Chain A
């Protein structure tokens, strides 16, 4: 009989092997999650919103505004979802008059996953009265609600400022964290 067939493992040794195997598998999953988590704050800070298209057409009774925003996560972070997008705007006419308004937070159905390096387009359509078809500058404030692994603790919201007379890329203004489900909820603050 060879040495291999004579070799027997005891119950304790079998348990030890199982113990090490489970830890090795869990360790692999944990390492992957930790590497992804390391890019989370970078993804929050470097989220990019840009104005892809703006079209104003004369309708009745007002003007139809069709605006497309592109949202991109330029980092390697996964598991971030764009839940809602809202815009508020100010329109400066060449005559000096201003029109203000907002679309409110609108749920995207379904929510859009912000995968690394994938550009997501969000189209907003609204009507405006008293908008002259030419010589206007839109100042948009885009607010996006993000769904992250911290959803059970905090809601994250990022705001961006877009000016149609300037570059397409909208600089980030703020990221706000609002605590949920803790000590009765509420609270919050800028990041």
Chain B
């Protein structure tokens, strides 16, 4: 019964693509948000895990064009979600408006510094290589 449900969830290419996109976004968001909230930048290990995740996602999609589109969607969604998560606890209850403005600016810098340019290039390359591997071997 459960196997049937699972098969229904991934029965079509579009459904599979949707699940990979959701999980890919969740994975990148987890890695980058954890890095942001512990030291404000991603370590080599975290960048490596993100690249491995992108490789796996690319291989699961198995199509270079689709991988590229889904990757762009996932990375944009990740950045939006992380910015929301980072700025949401800022409250006038704890900081004045000038303080909130400073911290918001710093958090935006931290998020972009975490993703651009090297991690973005690395994860893009990983997802494209993964999709090539997926097309050929899986």
Contact = CB atoms under 8 A, between A and B. Distances in A.
Asked if A and B are interacting partners, one says yes
Interface of A: 10-12, 15-16, 18-20, 22-23, 26-27, 29-30, 33-34, 36-42, 44-46, 79, 149-154, 175, 177, 179, 182, 189-191
B40 A152 contact: yes
Given A12-B60, A30-B33, A189-B98, 7 more contacts: A11-B138, A19-B53, A33-B33, A150-B106, A177-B103, A179-B106, A189-B99
B94 to A, nearest CB: 4
Contacts of A44: 94-95
Contacts of A42: 94
A37 B94 contact: no
Interface residues of B, number: 40
A23 B53 contact: yes
Interface string B104-119: 0010011000000000
A12 B56 CA distance: 9
Interface string B67-83: 00000000000000000
A30 B60 contact: no
17 contacts: A11-B137, A22-B56, A30-B31, A41-B91, A42-B94, A44-B94, A45-B95, A149-B39, A153-B109, A154-B102, A154-B103, A175-B99, A177-B102, A179-B102, A179-B106, A191-B99, A191-B103
Nearest to B33: A30
A30 B99 contact: no
B121 interface: no
A15 B37 contact: no
